[in-house]
Structure 1
Amino acid sequence: MMHFKSVRQCQRFVSTQGQIANLFLLHRKHLSAADHRKLRFHAIATWRQITMSINA
């Protein structure tokens, strides 16, 4: 929290970061390598789609 100007700014970052992290954080111990690659590809494609719509 020391790097944020205010509690509100910190809360905004943390709430957004949590949603984004859910796209990328996977429990690999429950997945095969092939399944992990498929899910990673899908997460990255979703992220690109979201960022393209924001930039448009």
Structure 2
Amino acid sequence: MMRFKSARQCQCFASTQGQIAKLLHLHRKHLTAADHRKLRASAVNTWREIALSTVL
């Protein structure tokens, strides 16, 4: 596991990671396989849009 140089760096990572996890992690027990695939595809597309917007 990566070590953080400061508490601030750790907090920044944790807050960002939490938002990403909410976007990508779905509760499969409440979904059919087809619905899960659609939602995963949507989440990945949203993540790509966000990642590309921060690079430019």
Common fold, TM-score beyond 0.5?
A: yes
Give the superposed CA RMSD.
Answer: 1.2
Instruction: Calculate percent identity across the aligned residue pairs.
Output: 67
Structure 1 residue aligned with 2:8:
8
Q: Report 1 or 2 for greater relative contact order, CA contacts < 8 Å, sequence distance ≥ 6.
A: 2
SS of 2:3's equivalent? coil
Q: How many residues align?
A: 55
SS of 2:26's equivalent? coil
Structure 2 residue aligned with 1:22:
22
After TM superposition, the runs of 4+ consecutive aligned structure 1 residues lying more than 6 A away are none
| 1:27 Cα deviation from its structure 2 partner | 0.7
Structure 2, unaligned stretches of length 5 or more? none
Structure 2 residue aligned with 1:49:
49
Structure 1, unaligned stretches of length 5 or more? none
| Residues 9-33 of structure 1 deviation map (CA, whole Å, 9 limit, x = unaligned) | 1100000000001111111001000
SS of 1:26's equivalent? coil
Question: Could you tell me the TM-score, scaled by structure 2's length?
Answer: 0.90
Question: Could you tell me the TM-score, scaled by structure 1's length?
Answer: 0.90
